[in-house]
Homo-oligomer: A and B are copies of this chain.
């Protein structure tokens, strides 16, 4: 398996980890676009959101519920959560992940 996130999860590549449980891991993005920018990643290798079905519904909900908890711990009052799906959707690592970022004034207005 040549997946960088799987290697991070396995501990073969170091990361700036901020959270871990039996299903999820969270670590800081190595190329942050905001003062706070971390990723929430399932330990299960799922390529992207299009590969999810009802079997992942609870996991996806858990990923979103974790975001405000970690954002608060990182000192954010407001934050964005974003999932990029597919190359045309800006996805670069094909292991499902939620970007959580905030703390800046330069975020795109949406």
Interface residues of A (CB under 8 A from B): 33, 49-50, 52-54, 56-62, 64-65, 67-68, 71-72, 76-91, 99, 101-102, 107-110
A78 vs B56: C-alpha distance when bound (angstroms)? 20
Given A58-B58, A62-B57, A99-B110: A79 and B68 within 8 A (CB)? no
A99 vs B89: C-alpha distance when bound (angstroms)? 13
Q: How far is the CB of A92 from chain B (nearest CB, A)?
A: 9
A62 vs B64: C-alpha distance when bound (angstroms)? 11
Closest to A79 in B: B89
Instruction: Say yes or no: A56 contacts B61, CB within 8 Å.
Output: yes
Closest to A107 in B: B90
